Amino acid sequence: MADRVKVREQDPKVRAKNFDEVCFGYNEDEAALEASRCLHCKNPQCVKGCPVGLHIPEFIAELKNKNFEGAISEIHKSSSLPAICGRVCPQETQCEAKCVLGIKGEPVAIGKLERFIADYAREHGLEDNIEINKNGKKVAVIGSGPAGLSCATDLAKLGYDVTIFEALHTAGGVLTYGIPEFRLPKDEVVKAEVENVKKLGVKIETNVIVGKTISIDSLRNEEKFDAIFIGSGAGLPMFMHIPGENSNGVFSANEFLTRANLMKGFRDDYDTPIKVGKKVIVVGGGNVAMDAARTALRLGAETHIVYRRSENELPARLEEVHHAKEEGIIFDTLCNPVEIIADENDNVKAVKLIRMELGEPDEKGRRRPVEIKGSEFDIDCDMVIMALGTTPNPMLPKNTKGLETDKKGCILHDEETTATSIGGIFVGGDAATGAATVILAMGAGKKAAIGIHNYLMNK
């Protein structure tokens, strides 16, 4: 079997200084060649690994024959955001992990192929020409992130009149404020995908915080929505609660990334300021930590990732870790901050770390990090970014009577229908599960669309 077609990327030395996309993606010939590696298994496993059940073998078969129109229409049957998924899904633990070719060699590059065809379709104006029969029912979607967009798309295709309410000034949720430009271009990709959703008739109203600007009750009673989907996403950033954590120069990854991605703070012509130290410590090992570290690096800082477990346990996508290393991010694994040290003006000047070792496995089977007594040491730095995860946003449950949450603040819901404790209100994505991935949120949005459809058809 031929090797996987290598995808072209920006040189690490060059890209470490710019915000252009790292990966160039396949061209037509490369895509067709890679597609030809697919064995077309009788019982394809790849699809089982996909949270949205993408028609993988079908679109790859069309690609192999360079029938691009056919390929994109296969994708549109199950995904509304292929250009995004092709870029940010953890394929190595999903579709590609199940690919038979992966047993002996490298699996088919399903993510890169999805990205190619989505980009091709956008560049050549191949649209999702589905015929929509309006059914006269109204659904409100709270949040325009991946959960909300995918839920809105599926409902619109089923004939619903859908309005998305977005709290920020730009649609896209984490795709816009969280994931950096060099991984997911905002204008070319995110905006374009949002436009595709609008072309299905979905309305997007920005600057509306449901629970504050308008209540769920008024959406139902005054604005006459028949059902509501909550996709309000992740909320409060977590901190370590160690001494010195409120010093100047300590940021949550959410703040740092929002200033860079949503507010474009790194550009002179935008007003929002962004701080970048000369030496930056990013605490955490997930995708958000990688994004924050690589953003700080691009803004000129020497950047370290501090992670309490070993490299094997890093929860980030493999490709992101690989890219981060190539670009020159330094990994200080098996270390954990115990204190942040500031100068007399309260500006960060160092972090006190303690060395860790791996102990017994925890309930998830990951080996628990244990402090090595007396191993503390200081590392100089002038900025610290905490990328420790988030807890669900409390705003909506707090302001909505009867909407029940669990101890962590996740909105309680039925696993099958996604229905919440209030009839006619459904939930999906980080608001329901706590911080997860774009594709899981999309999967949840699709599931909720079916739940809402069944609910309204049987009403």
Partner 1 sequence: MYKIIKKKDLADKLCLYEIEHNRLAKAAMPGQFLIVKIDEKGERIPLTICDYDREKGTVTIVVQEVGATTKRMNAMKEGDYFKDVVGPLGNASDLIGLSKDELNQKKILFIAGGLGAAPVYPQAKYLSELGVSFDVILGSKSVNTLILEKEYSDLNCNLYVCTDDESYGFKGPVTNVLKMLCDGSISEANYKTIDGKIVKGRDICKSVDKKTYGHAVAIGSAVMMKFSCLTTKELGIPTIVSMNTLMVDGTGMCGACRLMVGDELKFCCIDGPEFDGHKIDFDAVIKRQAQYKDEESRALLRLNEGPTHHGNCGNCGG
In 3D space, the residue among 30, 417, 11, 403 whose CA is nearest the CA of residue 219 turns out to be 403
For partner 1, give the closer residue by CB, 68 or 165: 165
Q: Which stretch binds partner 1 (CB under 8 A): 49-57, 67-75, 244-252, 313-321?
A: 244-252
Q: Could you tell me the smallest distance in angstroms from the CB atom of residue 414 to partner 1?
A: 26
Amino acid at position 17, single letter: K
Residue 252 engages partner 1 in binding (rule: CB under 8 A): yes
Q: Which of residues 159-198 bind partner 1 (CB under 8 A)?
A: 167-169, 177
Looking at the Cβ atoms of 119 and 430, the one nearer to partner 1 is: 430
Residues of span 321-360 touching partner 1 by CB under 8 A: 345-346
Confirm or reject binding of residue 259 to partner 1 (CB under 8 A): yes
Q: Are 115 and 95 in contact (CB under 8 A)?
A: no
Alpha-carbon distance 180 to 185, whole Å? 7
254 is a site residue for partner 1 (CB under 8 A): yes
| Residue 264 lies near partner 1 (rule: CB under 8 A) | yes
Backbone angles phi, psi at 172, to 5 degrees: 125, -20
Residue 157: both structure tokens together: 């295709």
Residue recorded with tokens 């929505």: 225
For residues 27 to 66, the per-residue mask of contacts with partner 1, x marking binding by CB under 8 A and - elsewhere, is ----------------------------------------
Provide, rounded to whole angstroms, the least separation between the CB of residue 212 and partner 1. Answer: 6
Q: Which stretch binds partner 1 (CB under 8 A): 156-164, 266-274, 400-408, 431-439?
A: 266-274
Report which of 111, 64, 88 is spatially closest to residue 179, judged by C-alpha positions.
88
Q: Where are the beta strands (DSSP E) in 207-334?
A: 227-230, 234-237, 250-252, 279-283, 302-307, 330-333
- Minimum gap (Å) between residue 221 Cβ and partner 1: 14
In terms of CB distance, is 80 or 252 closer to partner 1?
A: 252
Please tell me whether residue 456 adopts helix, strand or coil conformation: helix
Query: Any idea which residue has 């028949």 for tokens?
Result: 226
Q: Mark 201-240 with x for binding to partner 1 (rule: CB under 8 A) and - for no binding.
A: -----xxxx--xxx-------------------xxxx-x-
Whole-number Cα distances in Å, 312 to 93, 172, 363:
14, 32, 17
Total site size for partner 1, rule CB under 8 A: 42
Q: Strand, coil or helix: what is 45? A: coil
Nearer to partner 1 by C-beta: 275 or 367? 275
Among 274, 280, 301, 329, binds partner 1 (CB under 8 A): 274
Among residues 273, 312, 364, 408, the one that binds partner 1 under rule CB under 8 A: 273
Give the 3-state secondary structure of residue 305: strand
Binding residue (CB under 8 A) for partner 1 from 241, 373, 401, 407: 241
The DSSP code sequence of 381-440 is: -SEEEE---EEE--HHHHTSTT--B-TTSPBP--TTT-B-SSTTEEE-THHHHSS--HHH
| Contacting positions for partner 1 (CB under 8 A) | 167-169, 177, 206-209, 212-214, 234-237, 239, 241, 246, 248-249, 251-252, 254-255, 258-259, 263-264, 268-275, 345-346, 390, 393-395
